[in-house]
Amino acid sequence: MIPLSWFLYLSAVLFSIGLYGVLARKNAIAILLGVELMLNAVNINLVAFWRMGNLALMTGQVFAIIVFAVAAAEVAVGLSLVISVYRRHNTVIADELNLMKW
């Protein structure tokens, strides 16, 4: 039997690691990897709250599934953008994509 707080701490750790990945990695694909970690952290919370709360209320699981869908959509569009950018600028390093620099 695992108390709820364990899941929450795990999710907090995962979220922070993902956040670090998003903020620190150079490669655009690696940034997306970080986003995936963050989404998973959220999902752990959702499912844990479902399990510990009212079992008949499926909101937690349904939200998790919708997060799946959103993640899939995000990855599909994100990666196609990365590939499109790569074709144009021949790089996926986020720092080098600085056309918007002053």
Q: Interface residues for other proteins in 23-62 (CB under 8 A)? A: 23-27, 29-34, 36-37, 40, 43-44, 47-48, 50-52, 55-56, 58-59, 61-62
Residue 9 neighbours by CB under 8 Å, 6+ apart: none
Shortest separation between residue 96's beta carbon and other proteins, angstroms: 9
Q: Residue 41 Cβ, how far from other proteins at the closest point, in Å? A: 9
Residues contacting residue 25 through CB under 8 Å, at least 6 positions apart:
31, 33, 34, 94
* Binding of residue 89 to other proteins (CB under 8 A): no
Q: How many residues bind other proteins (CB under 8 A)?
A: 81
Q: In the block, which residue shows the tokens 């998973």? A: 40
Q: How far is the CB of 39 from other proteins (least distance, A)?
A: 9
CB atoms within 10 A of CB 46: 19
- Interface map 59-78 toward other proteins (x if CB under 8 A): x-xx-xxx-xxxxxxxxxx-
Cα 51 to Cα 64: distance, rounded to the nearest angstrom: 13
Smallest gap from residue 88 Cβ to other proteins (A): 10
Paired residues of 26 in beta bridges = none
